[in-house]
């Protein structure tokens, strides 16, 4: 018994002097582990009489319980110390000003496309994105564009092979939609188009929005009403427009729409017209029952007019000084 009392004094002293969790764990293994001192004592009891076994087993278990309690108490104490030390090292001065977070801005092209979509949604149009890699049929043939048309040449169009190309216009989606939907229909097709050209007013990739209506009794006056109201909405004011007779293989009659600029010069902003009966025939729509009108506009051009931008290439040069100007939108 005296020996167990001395053992308890040693254990208590070791626990008190431990200053980290690792030391405490070593003490726990030393005394309470499978091969620890307490298990050694219990094994040795087999050499004692029944009364001695009963007496010493009680003492051993009492010391063992005290050891477990002391170790757990010390562990809590050490954990509190560790947390306190960590808080002191990682404390935050809440009086310091916060870090400045720079907010981005929507690119003016995306912003313009969103304005266009919002306007046409109010007129019952649906917006559909289309394929950028197209075949010859949907990009040219079905749109009544003849084989000898200059738009098919390699200096105007990016061809992959004899049949596949990067679409030169979003009109390809007119064909695909009219083939897969039945009239009446109202759609716009915003997206990227590609042409082999690059200067201050042209880039190899730019954005178009194509519009299509197929209904009974649609005529050119409906088309003009839509275009007038769209332009007034986009520029948020009434501007001078004129419709000039023009030619497009897929519309008849056809017209180009000009806007009067601040420098009092006319500038073309979009093309439009009544969808050619041959195009309707290509998609199995009876032109004696339904009529269709379409329009297509370049997003970059009307965005340049809206914000007074002189060089089209500014949109694609990733100059943050240029983009930052549009935070107000």
pLDDT for the residue 35: 78
pLDDT for the residue 121: 95
pLDDT digits (tens, 9 = 90+) for 154-167: 778 899 988 898 99
Give CA–CA dist 243/246, Å, rounded: 9
Mean pLDDT computed over 80-85: 85
pLDDT for the residue 150: 76
Task: Identify the residue with better confidence: 4 or 11.
Answer: 11
pLDDT for the residue 2: 44
Is 90 exceeded by the pLDDT of residue 128?
yes
Q: Which residues of 128-141 are buried (b: 16+ CB within 10 A; e: fewer)?
A: bebeeebbbebbbe
How many residues does the structure list for the chain? 329
Is 80 exceeded by the pLDDT of residue 283?
yes
Q: Which residues of 180-203 are buried (b: 16+ CB within 10 A; e: fewer)?
A: eeebebbbbbbbebbbeeeeeeeb
Please indicate, yes or no, whether the overall pTM of this predicted structure exceeds 0.85.
Answer: no
pLDDT digits (tens, 9 = 90+) for 132-161: 999 999 988 888 888 887 777 777 889 998
Task: Identify the residue with better confidence: 38 or 127.
Answer: 127
Give CA–CA dist 32/103, Å, rounded: 59
Is 60 exceeded by the pLDDT of residue 246?
yes
Q: Which residues of 258-295 are buried (b: 16+ CB within 10 A; e: fewer)?
A: bbeeeeeeeeebbbbbbbbbebbebbebeeeebbbbbb
What is the assigned CATH class of domain 108-326?
A: alpha beta
pLDDT bin (cut points 50, 70, 90) of residue 274 is very high
Give CA–CA dist 251/271, Å, rounded: 10
Task: Give residue 182's Cα distance to chain centre.
Answer: 32
Is 70 exceeded by the pLDDT of residue 200?
no
Q: What are the Cα distances from residue 161, in Å, to 132, 134, 149, 153?
A: 15, 11, 18, 12
Give CA–CA dist 188/126, Å, rounded: 6
Contacts of 299 (CB under 8 A, 6+ apart): 109, 112, 113, 116, 190, 206, 207, 208, 209
Tokens of 275: 């969808």
pLDDT for the residue 201: 64
Sequence ranges of the domains in the chain: 2-90, 108-326
299, 207 in Cβ contact below 8 A?
Answer: yes
Is 60 exceeded by the pLDDT of residue 255?
yes
Give CA–CA dist 100/98, Å, rounded: 6
Least confident of 2-11, 85-94, 245-254: 2-11
Mean pLDDT computed over 211-221: 93
DSSP letter string, 148-163? T-GGGSTTTS-BSSSS
Least confident of 138-142, 195-199, 234-238: 195-199
Is 80 exceeded by the pLDDT of residue 326?
no
pLDDT for the residue 199: 66
Is 60 exceeded by the pLDDT of residue 1?
no
Is 60 exceeded by the pLDDT of residue 48?
yes
Average model confidence (pLDDT) across the chain: 85
pLDDT bin (cut points 50, 70, 90) of residue 4 is low
């Amino acid at each position: 018994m005296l020996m167990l009392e001395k053992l308890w004094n040693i254990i208590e002293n070791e626990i008190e002097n431990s200053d980290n969790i690792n030391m405490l764990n070593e003490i726990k293994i030393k005394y309470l582990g499978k091969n620890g001192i307490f298990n050694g004592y219990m094994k040795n009891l087999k050499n004692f009489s029944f009364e001695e076994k009963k007496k010493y087993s009680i003492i051993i278990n009492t010391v063992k319980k005290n050891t477990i309690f002391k170790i757990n108490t010390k562990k809590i104490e050490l954990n509190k110390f560790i947390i306190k030390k960590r808080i002191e090292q990682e404390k935050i001065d809440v009086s310091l000003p916060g870090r400045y977070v720079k907010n981005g801005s929507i690119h003016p092209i995306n912003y313009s496309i969103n304005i266009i979509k919002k306007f046409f949604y109010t007129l019952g149009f649906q917006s559909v994105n289309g394929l950028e890699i197209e075949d010859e049929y949907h990009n040219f043939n079905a749109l009544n564009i003849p084989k000898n048309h200059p738009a098919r040449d390699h200096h105007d169009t990016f061809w992959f092979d004899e049949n596949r190309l990067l679409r030169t216009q979003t009109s390809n989606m007119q064909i695909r939609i009219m083939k897969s939907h039945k009239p009446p229909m109202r759609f716009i097709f915003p997206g990227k188009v590609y042409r082999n050209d690059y200067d201050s007013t042209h880039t190899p990739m730019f954005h178009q929005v194509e519009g299509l209506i197929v209904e009974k009794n649609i005529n050119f006056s409906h088309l003009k009403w839509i275009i007038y109201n769209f332009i007034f909405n986009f520029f948020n004011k009434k501007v001078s427009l004129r419709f000039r007779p023009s030619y497009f293989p897929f519309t008849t009659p056809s017209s180009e729409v000009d806007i009067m600029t601040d420098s009092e010069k006319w500038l073309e902003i979009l093309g439009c017209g009544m969808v050619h009966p041959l195009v309707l025939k290509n998609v199995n729509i009876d032109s004696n029952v339904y009529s269709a009108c379409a329009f297509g506009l370049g997003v970059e051009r009307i965005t340049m007019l809206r914000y007074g931008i002189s060089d089209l290439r500014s949109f694609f040069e990733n100059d943050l000084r240029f983009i930052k100007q549009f935070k107000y939108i």
